[in-house]
Each structure stands twice: as C-alpha cells, then as structure tokens.
C-alpha cells in the first residue's frame, strides 16, 4: 500500500477532452495512478473558455480557484468566482464554469467519486502546459 503519492504539476500529464474544448486538465491523482476512488486535476480555462453544460449523477465536484476569475452557473443561478474562492457542486445539478477574466482561469478540481471523469480525461488529446501555465502554477516568473 502506498504511504503517499507525489506529482509536480510542471511534469503532470495534461489532456484536452475534445478538440474544440476551451479547457484542459493537468492530471494529478486518480485511480489509475494512485488507486483512489476520486480524481484531482488542475483545470485550466482559456480566456472566454467554459466547461460544456454537465452534471454528475452521484459525484460531488469541488473547485478551488488558484488564479483568474469567472462565473459558476448552476441550475439558473450565477456566482462570480475568483482566486481564493471554493465551490462545491452537489450531484444531479447541471453546471458550467466559465472564464470571464482577461487571463486564464486555473482551478484545483476534485471529483468524488471519480464517476468516469479520469477515464474521460485520459482518453482525451494530450497537450503540453505552456510557460504561463507553469509560471502560474509554480508561482515563478514566466
């Protein structure tokens, strides 16, 4: 049994689920790599980008905003979000997270339980984190 797992976000595998998606994911921990029932990613939204409308039948989805700003929409309500804010979405609620800022929006996103999210991400298109992503996520100069 593992005592701990470690991942450097600068070296994490990153994926875009579909070619037209405006968000992508740096995969930190999931069942395939760590034998856990949930998934931890850094989700990165390009300027003007958003998740497609989606909902999860039995999973809670947590977002902690690392940098940037946006709007979280859930069942007709809209809530502004910015760095330092935390958002928990309960199962069965359709939601969208949208970047409304002038820079990328970065969130630590956790889905509990995984509910197939990790497999969806891993089946996506590999992408490279760019210098802005690395600088923002490691707090170093670009």
Helix, strand or coil for residue 96?
strand
DSSP label of 53: S
Query: For the chain (length 142 residues), average pLDDT per consecutive 10?
Result: 83 95 96 94 96 90 97 94 96 94 98 95 97 91 54
pTM: predicted TM-score of the whole model, two decimal places: 0.94
Instruction: Give CA–CA dist 86/82, Å, rounded.
Output: 9
pLDDT digits (tens, 9 = 90+) for 5-41: 899 998 999 999 999 999 999 999 999 999 999 999 9
Helix, strand or coil for residue 101?
coil
Whole-number pLDDT of residue 132: 95
Instruction: Give CA–CA dist 9/107, Å, rounded.
Output: 13
DSSP label of 26: E
Query: Under a CB-based contact definition with an 8 Å cutoff, are residues 10 and 129 in contact?
Result: yes
CATH number of 20-128: 2.60.120.10
Positive/negative CA dihedral, 69, 61, 49, 121: positive
Q: What are the extents of the domains in the chain? A: 20-128
């Amino acid at each position: 049994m593992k005592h701990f797992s470690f991942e450097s976000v600068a070296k994490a595998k990153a994926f875009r689920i579909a070619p037209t998606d405006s968000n992508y994911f740096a995969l930190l921990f999931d069942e395939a790599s760590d034998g856990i029932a949930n998934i931890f990613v850094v989700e990165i939204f390009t300027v003007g980008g958003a998740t497609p409308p989606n909902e999860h039948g039995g999973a809670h989805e947590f977002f902690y905003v690392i940098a940037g700003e946006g709007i979280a929409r859930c069942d007709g309500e809209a809530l502004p979000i910015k760095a330092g804010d935390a958002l928990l979405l309960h199962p069965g609620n359709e939601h969208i997270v949208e970047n409304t800022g002038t820079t990328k929006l970065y969130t630590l996103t956790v889905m509990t339980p995984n509910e197939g999210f990790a497999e969806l991400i891993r089946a996506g298109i590999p992408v490279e984190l760019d210098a802005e992503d690395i600088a923002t996520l490691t707090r170093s100069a670009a």
